[in-house]
Structure 1
Amino acid sequence: MIPLRPVPTAAPGPSGAPPGEPLWRDLVGEVLRRERKAQGRTLKEMSEASRISLAYLSEVERGRKEASSEVLAAAARALGLTLADVLALAGERLVSLTAARSRTGAPGAARGHRPVRTALPARRTGPAGPMGGVLLAA
């Protein structure tokens, strides 16, 4: 059996993720809360506008619940956004957090996490490549 993630050696963060590694639900909740507060709206107002229970919406904002795409779309609409807007903002946050981690020495690498490869290595098609040593990138 191959685990999906290496077992962290340090204590996990509040949401169960290894320290410094954000979960998608945390990022999405952060975006929803930030956008709601930027509009000066209360959780109750957003709950009513989205038709999502106040308790559940609060759990989503705090990263305690993994909301369905339907729930996220309703929350986004209540904020005057699209689902794509919310996901793009969460994606931007993930990229910025990942970049910050790599600039500070990539703490995940010390715990056995491998960095994500952005390009595949060149692959040879034969002993000297198809044209005398030319490598093909996949």
Structure 2
Amino acid sequence: MAAADRPVVVDLATRRRDQRGPDRADSPAPLLRAVYGEILRDERRDQDRTLAEVARAVGMSKQYLSEVERGRKEPSSEMLHSVCGALGLPLEHLLARGVRRLSVTRRVATGAPAGPPGMQLLAA
């Protein structure tokens, strides 16, 4: 069989890893404050509310809330409670969503299968 007639085999896992850069296992896990900030920002945006509106409701500056959402500031538990209250997001939902995001990040970084034990997602 001529070289031009041979089928081409492409390892998609290697190709995707090469396209996205260094392996995620080499990168550190996100900080908890960054995860909580992302969740708060996502919730605020889902409600079509501005930083100024939520900051005013909480009694903090818009700049501080922005830094919390970007994971640059470590908010106190009281501050998280206040922001969650202003968003109508129960604090336990923030905590649970944070755990889920960290778990997914850890599974992706370590290559552990997603889903319940004994189940593995494979791409064809």
TM-score (normalised: structure 1): 0.59
Identity of aligned residues (%): 46
Q: CA deviation at 1:76?
A: 0.3
The aligned counterpart of 2:46 is 38
Q: CA deviation at 1:78?
A: 0.7
1:76 aligns with 2:93: no
**Following the alignment from structure 1 to structure 2, what is the Cα–Cα distance between the partners of residues 86 and 53?**
21
1:92 aligns with 2:100: yes
The aligned counterpart of 2:58 is 50
Quick one: which amino acid aligns to residue 67 of structure 2?
Answer: E
The aligned counterpart of 1:112 is none
| 3-state secondary structure, aligned to 2:66 | helix
**Following the alignment from structure 1 to structure 2, what is the Cα–Cα distance between the partners of residues 72 and 101?**
28
Q: Give CA deviations for 1:49-99 in whole Å, capped at 9, x if unaligned.
A: 121221111110000000000000000001101211111111111011111
| 3-state secondary structure, aligned to 1:41 | coil
Quick one: which amino acid aligns to residue 38 of structure 1?
Answer: D
Q: Give CA deviations for 1:25-55 in whole Å, capped at 9, x if unaligned.
A: 1100000001100111110111111212211
- As a proportion of its length, which structure holds more helix? 2
**Following the alignment from structure 1 to structure 2, what is the Cα–Cα distance between the partners of residues 53 and 70?**
15
| 3-state secondary structure, aligned to 1:35 | helix
| 3-state secondary structure, aligned to 1:58 | helix
**Counterpart among 61, 67, 82 of residue 69 in structure 2:** 61
Greater RCO, CA 8 A, separation 6+? 2
Question: Which stretches in structure 2 are left out of the alignment for 5+ residues?
Answer: 1-25, 113-124
Question: Which stretches in structure 1 are left out of the alignment for 5+ residues?
Answer: 1-17, 105-138
Q: CA deviation at 1:24?
A: 0.4
TM-align CA RMSD:
1.4
Quick one: which amino acid aligns to residue 94 of structure 2?
Answer: V
8 Å CA contact 1:52–1:71 kept in 2: the answer is: no
